[in-house]
A = this chain, B = another copy of it.
Amino acid sequence: MHITGAMLIGQTDVTGTEAVFQAVDPATGAALDPGYAGGTPSHVDAAARLADAAFASYRATPPAQRAAFLREIGSQIMALGDTLIERAMAETGLPRPRLEGERGRTVNQLNLFAAVVEAGGWHGARIDHAQPERKPMPRSDIRMRHIPIGPVAVFGASNFPLAFSVAGGDTASALAAGSPVIVKGHPAHPGTSELVGRAIRAAVQAQGLHEGVFSLVFGVGNDIGQALVTHPLIKAVGFTGSRTGGLALMRAAAARPEPIPVFAEMSSTNPVFLMPAALKARAAAIAGGFVTSLVGSAGQLCTNPGLVIGIASPELDTFIAAAREGVAGSGASTMLTAGIHQAYEDGVRRLTGLSEVEVLTRGNPSDAPNQCQAALLACSAEAFIRDPQSLGHEVFGASSLVVRCADEAQMLDVARVLEGQLTATLQLEAGQDADLVSALLPILELKAGRILANGFPTGVEVCHAMVHGGPFPATSDARSTSVGTLAIQRFLRPVAYQDIPDSHLPEPVQAANPWNVPRMENR
């Protein structure tokens, strides 16, 4: 498969008519061929009409076929071989092992959703059998299953050009639910997007599905995204990106004549709480793990540990000294785009310009373009509690702020003023600091989608129990996750069938249960 600069609207290559943009190698600043001409609302309309036309047949696909389709996408992605990896390296500045690992994660994610489709629990099938003898009124036969919500718009993220982009978690879970998908490719990696889009398209064709099951559009600026979110045939939105971008989509979706749900994963500083006993036992080791988590991928991860909270003590000083040494010794690394680099620099400058903030150290500088120079900062808990929104605002990149608390009570107060988070981490020694941990956990449950101990928040497992979500502003909808198999539920809605003859019932609630789905039966 080749990169051509086209959008993929169903099985048709369509060249846009708006301003042409090119990917840029962030390590060199060089523009990469080909140019991509942006799409217009009429391209979005064409893709949305196709998606709507595909919806009836696609949502009716039996589990085996839908699962085979998801697995076929993975096979087609693998078949792209080094073409994909090399293009992604050039477009993102991310190193080969990271991208090969991310490709594996992307394919595994598709395969996991294929298994979910086959297992069938997502139908949420329930059967309340008729009770014709019940007094004073007989009970009807009532059956529930879940159906997909309709065509979904997915916005590719810049920082995971494979796993959160064209064939990433949003696309995989929406396709698993039975929803056609229209992806707006991220303009930072259009070639990677086109290649993966072609892989999905080949899978659509290989499985004999309606071409409208998948389309890929491009565009810089907000117009094409607004056209997608406001199109009447689009019924839900998946987004991973900035708070500004997510809020704009939420506003647009809420203002529609028919409002639709937006599942936006936006911003998080992922606080790491250092328990006194853990610091006593292994302050330097914790610092080592922290620095690795902080500077990996130039800190461009949603779960980057941007906040560390400890209680002033010699052990905290040991942690800070070791973390300072680690960050000071960290090499600069290429950020994804000039825009992200600029925003990182601005964010660090804003924080370091505050009188409350002390610069503990910076990483090594570099003269190469778009280099992330890590930042380790500190402030007092008093200062943080006074202005948690300003000091706790996400700086996307390898920047972290150490918050020094006077005592345990103040640590709890810091936890209480936090905004919503994707994650919260506890460094603890099992059996020690039990009262502090017990006091922290109920606070953190209300702040974060995932609470972890003795690890670091980066590295999000794709599994059944994962929650990559959390209260606003971490996401737009704390009742959802964008990673893990529960993500499928974002795109489903329940439908009840009352006294419908068996021959007209959908398979998941037919008497014979031909798909063998798990069901809750009540007699």
Q: Which residue of B lies closest to A476 (CB)?
A: B259
Q: Note all chain B residues with C-beta closer than 8 A to A469.
A: 493-494
Q: Which residue of B lies closest to A478 (CB)?
A: B493
Within 8 A of B (CB), among A247-274: 250-251, 254, 258-259, 261
Q: Which residue of B lies closest to A389 (CB)?
A: B257
Query: Smallest CB–CB gap between A443 and chain B, Å?
Result: 9
Judged by a CB distance under 8 angstroms, whether A495 is at the interface is yes
Per-position contact with B for A409-431: 1 when CB-CB < 8 Å, else 0? 00000000000100000101011
Task: Determine if B142 and A453 form an interchain contact, defined as CB atoms under 8 angstroms apart.
Answer: no
Q: How many residues of A contact B (CB 8 A)?
A: 76
C-alpha spacing A348/B478, complex, angstroms = 42
Q: Which of B124, B448, B465, B498 contacts A144 (CB 8 A)?
A: B465
Task: Determine if A465 and B500 form an interchain contact, defined as CB atoms under 8 angstroms apart.
Answer: no
Q: Which of A61-69, A164-172, A367-375, A454-462 contacts B (4 or more CB under 8 A)?
A: A454-462
Query: Smallest CB–CB gap between A413 and chain B, Å?
Result: 15
C-alpha spacing A424/B124, complex, angstroms = 21
Q: Which of B450, B484, B500 contacts A451 (CB 8 A)?
A: B500
Task: Determine if A450 and B495 form an interchain contact, defined as CB atoms under 8 angstroms apart.
Answer: yes
C-alpha spacing A312/B471, complex, angstroms = 54
Q: Which of A127, A469, A500, A503 has the most CB of B within 10 A?
A: A500
Within 8 A of B (CB), among A494-515: 494-501, 503-504
Judged by a CB distance under 8 angstroms, whether A126 is at the interface is yes
Task: Determine if B142 and A472 form an interchain contact, defined as CB atoms under 8 angstroms apart.
Answer: no
Task: Determine if A467 and B144 form an interchain contact, defined as CB atoms under 8 angstroms apart.
Answer: yes
Q: Note all chain B residues with C-beta closer than 8 A to A128.
A: 461, 463-466
C-alpha spacing A375/B238, complex, angstroms = 45
Q: Which of B150, B251, B463 contacts A139 (CB 8 A)?
A: B463
Q: Which residue of B lies closest to A119 (CB)?
A: B520
C-alpha spacing A364/B144, complex, angstroms = 40
Q: Which of A26-34, A152-160, A433-441 contacts B (4 or more CB under 8 A)?
A: A433-441
Task: Determine if A451 and B522 form an interchain contact, defined as CB atoms under 8 angstroms apart.
Answer: no
Judged by a CB distance under 8 angstroms, whether A1 is at the interface is no
Task: Determine if A455 and B492 form an interchain contact, defined as CB atoms under 8 angstroms apart.
Answer: no
C-alpha spacing A95/B250, complex, angstroms = 45
C-alpha spacing A179/B426, complex, angstroms = 26
Q: Which of A261, A463, A492 has the most CB of B within 10 A?
A: A463
Q: Note all chain B residues with C-beta closer than 8 A to A150.
A: 446
Q: Which of A127, A426, A450 has the most CB of B within 10 A?
A: A450
C-alpha spacing A19/B469, complex, angstroms = 44
Within 8 A of B (CB), among A92-129: 101, 121, 124, 126-128
Q: Which of A126, A420, A431, A504 has the most CB of B within 10 A?
A: A504
Judged by a CB distance under 8 angstroms, whether A380 is at the interface is no
Q: Which of B459, B497, B499 contacts A454 (CB 8 A)?
A: B499
Query: Smallest CB–CB gap between A420 and chain B, Å?
Result: 8
Q: Note all chain B residues with C-beta closer than 8 A to A500.
A: 426, 441, 451-453
Judged by a CB distance under 8 angstroms, whether A350 is at the interface is no
Judged by a CB distance under 8 angstroms, whether A309 is at the interface is no
**Residues of A near any B CB (own CB < 8 A):** 56, 60, 101, 121, 124, 126-128, 136-137, 139-140, 142-144, 147, 149-150, 250-251, 254, 258-259, 261, 420, 426, 428, 430-431, 434, 437-438, 441-442, 445-446, 448-455, 459, 461, 463-467, 469, 471-473, 476-479, 481, 484, 486, 492-501, 503-504, 520, 522
- Can you list 9 contacts pairing A with B, beta carbon distance less than 8 Å? A56-B442, A140-B455, A147-B445, A258-B472, A431-B501, A437-B504, A463-B522, A469-B494, A484-B496
Q: A261-B477, A431-B503, A449-B495 given; name 17 further pairs at CB < 8 Å.
A: A60-B442, A101-B136, A128-B463, A128-B464, A140-B455, A250-B254, A251-B254, A258-B473, A259-B476, A430-B503, A434-B504, A449-B493, A455-B498, A464-B520, A464-B522, A479-B492, A479-B494
